[in-house]
Amino acid sequence: MTEQTIREVSEATGISRFTLQQVASKGTVPARQAGSIWLIDTESETFKAWLNAHWEQSRVKGHKK
């Protein structure tokens, strides 16, 4: 399991930290909270599937990948 902070995932993918915090807190992607910091399991199949689906949404096509 490889966990990264929301900030690290945001910098690597170009997805806003707000969006990542929402999906982490809702349980959409595998994540856990350590104090006030969210850690996302970026190696999980669930996260990879969400990431691919995120880029396929028409409102985000053309943005940084």
Lookup: tokens for 12? 């690597």
The per-residue pLDDT for range 8-64, each reduced to its tens digit, is 999 999 999 999 999 999 999 999 999 999 999 999 999 999 999 998 887 655 555
Minimal CA–CA distance to 37: which of 54, 11, 17? 17
Please give the model's pTM, rounded to 2 decimal places.
0.83
pLDDT of residue 57: 81
Length of the chain: 65
